[in-house]
Structure 1
Amino acid sequence: MSIANNNAEITDLELVRKCQKGDQNSFRLLYQRYQYKVRATLYKLCGSELLDDLQQEVFLKTWKALPKLREAKYFSTWLYRICWNVASDHSLSRKRDQDRQQNQIAQAKQSLNTNLGSVNYSQTGLLQLHYQELIELALQNISLEHRAVIVLHDLEDLPQKEIAEILAIPVGTVKSRLFRARQILRQFLQQQGVNL
């Protein structure tokens, strides 16, 4: 049997326990196993801006915090929690930067006061959007709390109970945010001429 097949048979629990003993090779295997899911989740939560840096931050925080992980069998849920925290921190930082930019623009040109708060700079300049881009645009125009729930549930196929653990909120809150996020997305897409 090849080494690659042996690696696929090693469980997350075994890898985490080896990592907690300082085994960097086991962490490399965990990284290879989860890098695409983490990247996809971050992309859906934060967009493409600084995606490499955010992904690196998630795995750096994961490596540093692994010795403290008590329930190693819940590694993937714990990893999504770190991913959520990094995305949330990035969103707050980005919001502060956008607020600062908006204040500077407003001072320079008072005529731009209206609707500046809704400008999403990563999406300006696009003339035509296909359906996937519309979904991404819609996701960027809802709050991070609503976006996280819809990304984790509808796009990552995680159960509501696990999402509640990742976001540290009650399952009822997950359900209500999911319902509201879907409403907002539906309205946005209908405004863009997409018939649902």
Structure 2
Amino acid sequence: MDLKEYVALSGAMLRVGIFGYGGGPSVIPLFRHEAVTRYKWMTDKEFGELLAFANALPGPIATKLAAQLGYQQKGAMGAVVAILAHILPTTIAMVALLGALYAMKESVIVAGMIAAVRPVIAVLLGITAYEFCAKTWGGLGKIIGVGFGVIAFLLLGVLDVHPAIVIITFLAYGTVHIKVFNWAKRKWGGKESIKQNSGGMPS
């Protein structure tokens, strides 16, 4: 058992659990910072794929990401450690401070603190979305990437389609897109390579 790796995993999940104010989407940039930037457990592309699959599964996004990251690092025990490190401290704090929160819920100071945190969360989500868009442009091109962004917004925000359905649909398209692209590359790239090689051979 590598204690150092478990300590790093626990520390990462603990920080996300404590500083992930608001839960849900607000923790995604924090998970990305720990997994991609700080510890380099995975690339941005791999984190994007992890996030897509996690969104397609039922349950809170934070615990799903914690479990998957822990499992990738240290197997089943890593998943257990990651989930406990993520939820246990905040759960204890929530129970301990429940009475105080009820007593201060009408406080102007508390309301101001909550209002001040919201723009930070919005900026973090915006930065994460922009970086994902940049990766999408590199893979699909700007026109298709922007088009898919508009389609996703309409499906999720206007038509209120379940996110799992949207994600599965886009994953299916991505699979077909990659297969077609690789087929075309093999077919036309192979022919071009043959022509070049034939032109260079003596007659």
Q: TM-score, normalised by structure 2?
A: 0.27
Q: TM-score, normalised by structure 1?
A: 0.28
More helix by share: 2
Structure number with greater Rg is 2
